[in-house]
Amino acid sequence: MNAKTILQFSMGPVGAAILSLITLPFVAWFFSVEDVGRLTMLQVILGLAVSLFSLAMHQAYVREYHEEEDKSALLKLSIIPGFVLLIFISLFILVLPFSISSILFGIDSNLITFLLFTGLFATFFINFLAHVIRMQERGLAFSATQIAPKIFLLILISLIMSLNWAAEFKTLMLMNTLSVVFSLFIFSWLTRDSWLISITKSVDFVLLKQMLLFSLPLVAGGLAYWGLTTMDRFFLRSLSGFNELGVYALAVALAGVVSVLTSIFSSLWHPVLYKWTKEGIDENKVQRVIENMILVVASFWSLAGLLSFIVPFFLPPQYLAIEYLIVACVSMPLFYLLSETTGVGIGITRRTSFAMFASIVAFLINAILNYLLIPVYGSSGAALASMASFFMFFVIKTEASAFLWRPFPRFKIYFILVFYMFATCVVVLAKAHISNFYIVWLILLLLTCGFFAKRLIESVNFFKIYFGKEN
């Protein structure tokens, strides 16, 4: 994958992140904190739809893509099992004698229920079609699908403000559902050559069984990971209410902009990794990626610590706690990003049960810590619990990879990350009221650069040579 393709894939997540940074303050100013909390519950449920109903077959699609000649038949096999399950579960829920919207959002509304299921089905198909574009290495198309829904959402918010529509959750739900459906239309058009052909393909039950054997262990892990990333919201809702949930959710959403790194890296990394595996993987290449990634993680974590004081200036007064919460929230996508490189042995050896184990253990730790910390520290406890759980998720995947594939140096990585976690705990518990604490973030960044100085110099020289050739 050349630099041009990498740039094309990067444009979408970066553009989407910038648009999210513009949109989130508007939502915070225009809608109540409680509605922001309800919006979080919607995003949680849509995330569950991907984790549960996809049966992790999108990962099987990625794993088998370079092994199978008939890509359209492979796409059909990946979609069918989850689609059947989604239809069955949806019909079952609709005939139950209670309101699903009341349970999830505290509002009994048929409109909200309809919008919820519309969003669920759209999200299900988007997940698979996005992987089609990703595996075809169509960078510009992938970026377009990332940016267009965000632009559409921003336009809808502008209309609400200019037309004086009611600033209530039904309106917010409608905006998000329309954005998801709009995104599905874009994905469908860009991948029409793949999914239209797949409809007429026959079902290869031998390949379907092989894909299910790969993906099903990931379902439990995916559900555990979903719980790991969303459990704090459920605890906050039950123990603190929608108000504190809204503040914490916005902190997570802002920190989630860092997930642009994960989105870009995952879009590029897995196809390249499995191509390397087929051709005969060079272990030194993977080691270079790991060491470069720890430098990236340390840089972004330090930047979050240094610049977090700026965030409250763009939000209403009731969101002041985000200044210190965001530092802990940033650690979650960064730990996941790093685990994508240190945990490569799990995918290479197809031992996906170890990824499931990592998610389940982290999920249980998160449940225990949320139960213990939220009653005492509120949203701060939720942030620290999630940070600790993601660290354990990263450690288990890293150690599993070293066990299954090959051992690699890990002490310096753990050493650096433990100190970053300790500094984050101090900031959160002290509510960012420690003078000159920025020095700590600078020292930690310099320490990381010193530990991996050879790799840093090598990377700097590479970019000098590369951009020198471009000029």
Question: Residue 369: its pLDDT value, please?
Answer: 93
pLDDT at 90 over 80: yes
Average pLDDT over residues 207-214: 83
pLDDT at 223 over 80: no
Residue 348 per-residue DSSP state = H
3-state secondary structure string across 14-32: HHHHHHHHHHHHHHHHHCC
Question: How does residue 6 score in pLDDT terms, banded at 50, 70 and 90?
Answer: low
Q: Output the six-digit token pair for 55.
A: 């049966």
Question: How does residue 36 score in pLDDT terms, banded at 50, 70 and 90?
Answer: confident
Question: Residue 270: its pLDDT value, please?
Answer: 65
How many whole angstroms from its chain centre is CA 5? 22
Percent of the chain with pLDDT over 90: 15
Q: What is the pLDDT of residues 442-470, one digit of tens each?
A: 999 999 999 988 888 887 776 666 556 55
- Give residue limits of the domains in the chain: 1-203, 217-471
Let me know: does 38 contact 242? Beta carbons within 8 Å.
Answer: yes
Q: Output the six-digit token pair for 234.
A: 């459920």
Q: What is the pLDDT of residues 261-291, one digit of tens each?
A: 676 676 667 667 767 766 666 667 778 888 8
Question: How does residue 441 score in pLDDT terms, banded at 50, 70 and 90?
Answer: very high
Give pTM, 2 decimals. Answer: 0.69
DSSP per position, 17-75: HHHHHHHHHHHHHHS-HHHHHHHHHHHHHHHHHHHHHTTTHHHHHHHHTTT-S-HHHHH
How many C-beta neighbours within 10 Å does residue 458 have? 13
Question: How does residue 221 score in pLDDT terms, banded at 50, 70 and 90?
Answer: low
Question: How does residue 431 score in pLDDT terms, banded at 50, 70 and 90?
Answer: confident
Let me know: does 145 contact 130? Beta carbons within 8 Å.
Answer: yes
* Between 170 and 47, residue with greater pLDDT: 170
Let me know: does 374 contact 386? Beta carbons within 8 Å.
Answer: no
pLDDT at 404 over 60: yes
- Between CA 438 and CA 6, with CA 458 as vertex, the angle to 5 degrees is 85
Q: Output the six-digit token pair for 252.
A: 């997570």
Average pLDDT over residues 39-49: 76
Question: Residue 282: its pLDDT value, please?
Answer: 64
Average pLDDT, the chain: 81
pLDDT at 115 over 80: yes
Average pLDDT over residues 25-29: 71
pLDDT at 165 over 80: no
Question: Residue 1: its pLDDT value, please?
Answer: 52
pLDDT at 228 over 80: no
Helices within 280-434 (DSSP H only): 283-307, 322-342, 344-348, 353-377, 379-404, 411-429
Average pLDDT over residues 220-228: 71
Let me know: does 383 contact 428? Beta carbons within 8 Å.
Answer: yes
Percent of the chain with pLDDT over 70: 87
